[in-house]
Structure 1
Amino acid sequence: MDKLAKGVGKASFLALSMMSMLAADAVSAFAQDAPAKQVFGNIALPSAGPSASYGSYAKGCQSGAVALPTEGQGFQAMRLSRNRRWGQPQLISFIERFAQDVQKIGWPGLLIGDISQPRGGPMLTGHASHQIGLDVDIWWRQMPKQVMSAEQRESTPFISMLDKSKFLTVDDRKWSPLNAKLVMMAASYPQVERIFVNPAIKQKLCQTWTGDRTFMGKIRPIYGHDEHFHVRLECPPGAPNCKPQAPVGAGDGCDKSLAWWFTKEPWATPKKDPNAKPPKPPRAMMVSDLPKACAAIAAAPAAGKASVAAQNSYTPSAPAAQVQDIVPQSSGKAAPMPPADVPRPSSRPSSN
Structure 2
Amino acid sequence: MAASSKQMSRSRLSRRQILSAALALLVPLSLPLAVRADQEAKKAFGAVQAPNSGAPMPIGSYAKGCVSGAVQLPDDGPNWQSMRLARNRHWGMPQTVATLERLSQDAARLGWGQGILVGDMSQPRGGPMAFGHASHQIGLDVDVWFTPMPERRMTAEEREKLPFTSMLDKSKFLTVDPRKFTPTAARLLMTAASYREVERIFVNPAIKKKLCDTWTGDRSLLGKVRPMYGHDEHFHIRLQCPPGVPSCKAQAAVAAGDGCDKSLAWWFTDEPWAKPKPDPNKKPPPPPRPVMVSDLPQACSAVLAAPAAKGAAVTATSFAPPVETEAAPASDLPLLPPNAPAPVPRPRG
Alignment TM class, shorter chain as reference: 0.7 to 0.9
Q: CA deviation at 1:102?
A: 2.3
The answer as to whether partners of 1:193 and 1:218 remain within 8 angstroms in 2 is yes
Query: CA distance change for structure 1 residues 215 and 314 in 2, over 3 Å: closer, same or farther?
Result: closer
Q: Measure how far apart 1:24 and its partner are.
A: 3.7
Structure 1 distance, partners of 2:195, 2:72, is 21
Overall identity of the aligned pairs, in %: 60
Q: Which has the larger radius of gyration?
A: 1
Mark the CA change 1:200 to 1:347 in structure 2 (over 3 Å): closer, same or farther. Answer: closer
Matched with 1:308 is: 312
- Give yes or no for the alignment of 1:26 onto 2:33: yes
CA distance in 2, matches of 1:53, 1:314: 18
Q: Deviations over 1:70-111 (max 9, x none)?
A: 111211100100000000111111111111122222223000
Where does residue 261 of structure 2 map in the other structure? 255
Partner residue, 2:20:
none
Residues 58 and 346 of structure 1: is their aligned pair in 2 closer, same or farther, counting only changes over 3 Å?
A: farther
- Change in Cα spacing, 1:284 to 1:154, as seen in structure 2 (3 Å) is same
Aligned-residue RMSD, C-alpha? 2.2
| Matching of residue 160 in structure 1 with residue 162 in structure 2 | no
Q: 1:218/1:39 Cα in 2 relative to 1: closer, same or farther (>3 Å)?
A: same
Name the structure 2 match of 1:41. Answer: 46
Size of the alignment, in residue pairs?
Answer: 312
Residue of structure 2 equivalent to 1:242: 248
- Are 2:216 and 1:214 equivalent residues in the alignment? no
Q: How many Å apart are 1:317 and its aligned residue?
A: 3.9
**Partners in 2 of 1:322 and 1:223 — Cα distance?**
29
SS at match of 2:81: strand
Q: Within 5 Å, which residues of 2 pair with 1:116-135? A: 116-135=122-141
From the superposition, tell whether residues 350 and 318 of structure 1 become closer, same or farther in structure 2 (CA, over 3 Å): closer
Which aligned pairs between 1:1-352 and structure 2 lie closer than 5 A? 24-30=31-37, 32=38, 34-107=39-112, 108-304=114-310, 307-309=311-313, 311=314, 315=317, 317-320=319-322, 341-342=334-335, 344=337, 347-349=340-342, 352=346
Moved over 6 A (4+): none
Instruction: Return the letter of the residue paired with 2:263.
Output: S
Q: Residue 202 of structure 1: SS of its match in structure 2? A: helix
Q: Distance in 2 between matches of 1:190 and 1:255?
A: 23
C-alpha distance in structure 2 between counterparts of 1:218 and 1:89, whole Å: 22
The secondary structure found in structure 2 opposite 1:214 is helix
Cα distance between partner residues in 2 of 1:181 and 1:278: 47
Normalization by structure 2: what TM-score?
0.84
Inter-CA distance 246–283: structure 2 relative to 1 (3 Å threshold): same
Q: Secondary structure at the match of 1:54?
A: strand
| TM-score after normalising by structure 1 | 0.84
Q: Distance in 2 between matches of 1:346 and 1:48?
A: 40
Contact 2:88 2:123 in 1 (8 A): yes
What secondary structure is seen at the aligned counterpart in 2 of 1:215?
helix
| Distance across 1 between alignment mates of 2:336 and 2:299 | 25
Question: What is the deviation of 1:320?
Answer: 5.0
- What are the superposed Cα offsets for residues 212-235 of structure 1, whole Å, 9 maximum, x if unpaired? 112100000000000000000000
Question: Secondary structure at the residue paired with 1:196?
Answer: strand
One-letter amino acid matched to 1:226? D
Query: Distance between the aligned counterparts of 1:222 and 1:192, measured in 2?
Result: 17
Q: Which runs of 5+ in 2 are unaligned?
A: 1-27, 326-330
Report the Cα distance in structure 2 between the residues aligned to 1:40 and 1:197, rounded to whole angstroms: 27
Displacement, 1:256?
0.6
1:26 aligned partner, one-letter code: L
5+ unaligned residues in a row in structure 1: which ranges? 1-20, 324-337
Letter in 1 for 2:320: A
Q: Secondary structure at the match of 2:258?
A: coil
